Structure formats: structure tokens, C-alpha cells
């Protein structure tokens, strides 16, 4: 059973022929039954994550990170759809951090966001040059690039009076991170759906935690989002994350449904059956006296 199927079906979706009200960004969306089912599934999964992790508690305004990739476009669209239906009582501001990558099409995101009428901020910071300077040739850019990007997004969230930074990481991102830590870091840790930053003044939220990457790819193609490819991290071959992605895809091909099972496992942890004495007090275990 999909994780999100526990959510009651309270949404008033369009009829099968596509009639009905919706956010303007769906004006040119497909009217097929398959697309409506896909959209409905993503909405239900996001609602489930919002509920499971109490993401709306104490929240009034969110900064939604928009990279120009399929996942962040999907995230923004789903949040706008929920807000249109009165199911997301927070203000949204979309933000793209232009990191100075060569040939980055600066006009694409502002045009798109103006077209759909979304409050937004485009921030220019040349972190690209810093990454290229600091990271040795052949090494992975992702870690430094991510830290620099995250620091700037935190700053912007504060300047915009936001309570949270909302990111488009999905099911596969979480599983890949878990196995990267498992194989290379020697620890059991994934990518949390809700995280308090080190300063304690901002939440980091991942409402797509239950959403499958394949679904987001199909959604992006159907919606014809103006995708902007990454010319930094996305241009590198042989990354550890790519290896994890291939491993998980192979497992899913041979044993369908394993990704959902793995995700459920991350939500059902039994500390007494692991080996961390800091997490469970093994010293306190005693046999019962006769």
C-alpha cells in the first residue's frame, strides 16, 4: 500500500474530462485520466507528508527553492494547487539562486513565475566560481555547492520574513542519501522531511518526501515545465549518488515495490535491534529474577 493512501480523499478534483476549477498554472495541463490520477497521487502524498511531520505547525510564510529542475517545479505547482484549494494556509515566495553558471538562461524562471503570478525573488551569487576554484579537478562539486547554496537560501529566507525553506527532495533523494551514509559514512542517516537549522530560526521542509522521482518526471513532462539543466554538479559522471540511484533502480526492477518498503522502514526504527548504545540503553537490560 502506498504511504499516502491513509489520507482521506477530501480533494475536489476535476472531472475525468478535465472540467472544473484549478490554479491558472493548470490551464494548459493534460485532461487525461492518467494525468489526473498522477496529479491526485502527488497531492495526496504531499498532504500526507505535511500531516505526518506537522509541517504547518507555527508556519506563516515559506521560501520555496526553485532550481529550474523537474522536482522544484513540481513542488511549487503542488503547493500552489493545495493553496488554491484552501488546504495550505501559508504564504509562498519562490526563490531561485542564480549561481553564476555559464550559459544559465536568466530569463526563463522570471518569465515563468510572472506568467503564473507567483511572488518570487531571483538572487545572483557567483558561487560557481568559488566551487570551481576550491574543488580539485575530478573531485565532486556537490557538497561545497550545496553548502554555499543553502547558506544563501537561509539568508534570503530571513530577509523575506519566512519561517521555513522548502525544498524539492523526493523519495529517491532520501533513499540515495541513506545508502550513501550507509556505504560510505558508516552511519544510519537519511534526509529528514523536517529539520531545524543549526541556528534554530528556520525549518527546512521536504513535502515531496513520499513522492517518487518517476512520478515527478512524468508530471514535469506533462506540464511542459521549462527545465534548466545543471551545468555544475549535473555535468559530472561517476558520482556516488549516481551509483546509489542505479543500485536502487536495479533492485526495484528485480523486486518491484522495494523503494516504498525501504521508505517505510525509515519510519519504523527499532533501536533495541541495532548496535548503538547511545540510542538504546543496553546496559540496563537485565534478566528477571526467579
Residue position matching grid coordinates 561517476: 238
When pLDDT is averaged across residues 242-251 and rounded to a whole number, the result is 94
**What does the pLDDT read at residue 165?**
97
How much is the pLDDT for 147? Answer: 75
Collect contacts of 139-146 with beta carbons under 8 A, ≥24 apart.
140/233, 140/236, 140/239, 140/240, 141/232, 141/233, 141/236, 142/233, 142/236, 142/239, 142/241, 145/99, 145/232, 145/233
> Under a CB-based contact definition with an 8 Å cutoff, are residues 95 and 153 in contact?
yes
Distance (Å, whole) CA 248 – CA 179: 9
Which residues carry a binding-site annotation for [4Fe-4S] cluster?
142, 145, 233
**Do 109 and 67 touch, CB atoms closer than 8 A?**
no
Closest by CA position to 244, among listed 201, 165, 190: 190
> Distance (Å, rounded) from C-alpha 236 to C-alpha 234?
6
Regarding the domain delimited by 14-284, which CATH topology (the fold level of the hierarchy) does it fall under?
A: Rossmann fold (3.40.50)
Annotated binding site: 142, 145, 233
* Packed helices 240-254 and 258-266: angle between N→C axes, nearest 10 degrees: 120
Q: Which spans in 25-170 are helix H? A: 33-52, 70-84, 108-115, 127-134, 142-159
What pLDDT score was predicted for residue 137? 65
Question: Which grid cell sits at 203?
Answer: 525549518
Place of cell 515559506: 62
Instruction: Quote the pLDDT of residue 170.
Output: 97
Q: pLDDT band for position 102 (50/70/90)?
A: confident
Q: What percent of the chain has pLDDT over 90?
A: 69
* pLDDT in the model for residue 17: 37
What are the pLDDT digits (tens) for 192-243?
999 999 999 999 999 999 999 999 999 999 999 999 886 555 444 447 888 9
What's the CA gap between 200 and 187, in Å, rounded?
Answer: 24
Q: Which residues contact 159 (CB under 8 A, 6 or more apart)?
A: none
Decide if 228 contacts 99 (C-beta within 8 A).
Answer: no
For residue range 53-64, what is the model confidence (pLDDT) as tens digits?
999 999 999 999
pLDDT recorded at residue 189: 95
**DSSP strand pairing (203-205 vs 194-196):** antiparallel
Average pLDDT over residues 119-142: 72
Q: 160 φ, ψ to 5°?
A: -90, 5
- Regarding predicted confidence, which is higher, 165 or 27? 165
* Global confidence as pTM: 0.87
**Stretch 180-194: mean pLDDT:** 94
Distance CA 248, CA 204 (A): 25
16 vs 90, more confident: 90
Amino acid at each position: 500500500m502506498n504511504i499516502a493512501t491513509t489520507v482521506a480523499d477530501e480533494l475536489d478534483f476535476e472531472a475525468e474530462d478535465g472540467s472544473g476549477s484549478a490554479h491558472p498554472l493548470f490551464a494548459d495541463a493534460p485532461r487525461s485520466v492518467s494525468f489526473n490520477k498522477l496529479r491526485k497521487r502527488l497531492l495526496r502524498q504531499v498532504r500526507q507528508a505535511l500531516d505526518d511531520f506537522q509541517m504547518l505547525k507555527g508556519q506563516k510564510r515559506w521560501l520555496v527553492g526553485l532550481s529550474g529542475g523537474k522536482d522544484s517545479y513540481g513542488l511549487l505547482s503542488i503547493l500552489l494547487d493545495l493553496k488554491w484549494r484552501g488546504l495550505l494556509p501559508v504564504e509562498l515566495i519562490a526563490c531561485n539562486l542564480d549561481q553564476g553558471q555559464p550559459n544559465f538562461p536568466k530569463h526563463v524562471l522570471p518569465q515563468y513565475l510572472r506568467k503564473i503570478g507567483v511572488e518570487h525573488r531571483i538572487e545572483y551569487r557567483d558561487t560557481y566560481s568559488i566551487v570551481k576554484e576550491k574543488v580539485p579537478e575530478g573531485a565532486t562539486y556537490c557538497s561545497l555547492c550545496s553548502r554555499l547554496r543553502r547558506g544563501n537560501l537561509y539568508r534570503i529566507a530571513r530577509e523575506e520574513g519566512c519561517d521555513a525553506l522548502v525544498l524539492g527532495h523526493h523519495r529517491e533523494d532520501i533513499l540515495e542519501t541513506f545508502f550513501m551514509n550507509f556505504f560510505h559514512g558508516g552511519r544510519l542517516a537519511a534526509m529528514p522531511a523536517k529539520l531545524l537549522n543549526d541556528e534554530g530560526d528556520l525549518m527546512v521542509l521536504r513535502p515531496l518526501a513520499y513522492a517518487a522521482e518517476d512520478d515527478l518526471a512524468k508530471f514535469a513532462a506533462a506540464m511542459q515545465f521549462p527545465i534548466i539543466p545543471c551545468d555544475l554538479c549535473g555535468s559530472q559522471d561517476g558520482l556516488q549518488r549516481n551509483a546509489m540511484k542505479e543500485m536502487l533502480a536495479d533492485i526495484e526492477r528485480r523486486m518491484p515495490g522495494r523503494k516504498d518498503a525501504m521508505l517505510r522502514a525509515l519510519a519504523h526504527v527499532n533501536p533495541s535491534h541495532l548496535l548503538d548504545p547511545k540510542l538504546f540503553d543496553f546496559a540496563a537490560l537485565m534478566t528477571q529474577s526467579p
